[in-house]
A and B are shown apart, each in its own frame.
Chain A
Amino acid sequence: SQQGEEDPQALSIQEGENATMNCSYKTSINNLQWYRQNSGRGLVHLILIRSNEREKHSGRLRVTLDTSKKSSSLLITASRAADTASYFCATVFLIQGAQKLVFGQGTRLTINP
């Protein structure tokens, strides 16, 4: 399977702390994306990092990519209760113009007030 692995599977922290989630994958990629899923909802795109990029920022999010180790990390700084959700990394392969996403199993993040 091409599916990546995420670590940890579950993370519980206090509001205001930083949360770090890691993702490893197996094959060469075009880009890697992170998505958030609130309970009972669809996925929402957070950030994309291309294979030739090493770090990217968006608001309180910081994503790193190490293609030599086939790994990525998502850092959420100054966490808020509203950040409670599951977070998924997705490696992206281009096929016939479509973007085939392969998702990890996700990290369930709980922010305690």
Chain B
Amino acid sequence: NAGVTQTPKFQVLKTGQSMTLQCAQDMNHNSMYWYRQDPGMGLRLIYYSASEGTTDKGEVPNGYNVSRLNKREFSLRLESAAPSQTSVYFCASSDLAGGPSNEQFFGPGTRLTVL
């Protein structure tokens, strides 16, 4: 089991460029999440997908879009990157609430710098 995988690990963009962060999980989880972590801060939820076919905004969705491609994959897209989006991005997955486990499993993160 690889758990939650993310690509790429590092990325540098220029202001205005676009990119997609990829996330995949092999634990058959229904729910998936995207967070960002700024220096010295906790994680903030960008978007989440409670189950395949649904996506919803989290705390800081502006400037981002997501796609739940299938049960395994959940991608995050920056259409026009801004320096304020410089951050470390984490993907996570979990069972549905009430399932066998309530914990979230996190990927290793993507470190994004926007110049």
Chain A interfacial positions (CB closer than 8 Å to B): 1, 3, 30-31, 33, 40-45, 48, 88, 90, 92, 94-106
Q: Does B100 contact A (CB under 8 A)?
A: no
B94: chain A residues within 8 A (beta carbon) = 98-99
* Given A43-B43, A95-B56, residue A101 in contact with residue B104 (CB < 8 A): yes
* Given A33-B103, A42-B107, A45-B105, residue A101 in contact with residue B45 (CB < 8 A): yes
**Bound form: Cα–Cα A43–B37 in Å:** 11
**Bound form: Cα–Cα A101–B58 in Å:** 10
Q: Does B108 contact A (CB under 8 A)?
A: yes
B103: chain A residues within 8 A (beta carbon) = 33, 45, 48
Chain B interfacial positions (CB closer than 8 Å to A): 4, 30-31, 33, 40-45, 48-51, 54, 56, 58-59, 90, 92, 94, 96-98, 102-109
B44: chain A residues within 8 A (beta carbon) = 3, 103
**Closest A-B pairs by Cβ, 4 of them:** A103-B42, A42-B106, A98-B50, A45-B103
**Bound form: Cα–Cα A92–B50 in Å:** 14
What distance in Å separates the Cβ of B86 from its nearest Cβ neighbour in chain A?
A: 16
What distance in Å separates the Cβ of A1 from its nearest Cβ neighbour in chain B?
A: 8
B50 to A103, Cβ gap below 8 A? no
**Bound form: Cα–Cα A44–B90 in Å:** 12
A100: chain B residues within 8 A (beta carbon) = 45, 48, 58
| Residue of A94, A99, A102 with most chain B CB atoms under a 10 A cut-off | A99
What distance in Å separates the Cβ of A58 from its nearest Cβ neighbour in chain B?
A: 12
What distance in Å separates the Cβ of A24 from its nearest Cβ neighbour in chain B?
A: 13
Residue in A3, A97, A101, A105 whose beta carbon sits within 8 Å of that of B51 in the complex: A97
What distance in Å separates the Cβ of B66 from its nearest Cβ neighbour in chain A?
A: 13
A94: chain B residues within 8 A (beta carbon) = 97
**Bound form: Cα–Cα A99–B104 in Å:** 8
**Bound form: Cα–Cα A87–B99 in Å:** 25
A104 to B42, Cβ gap below 8 A? yes
B41 to A105, Cβ gap below 8 A? yes
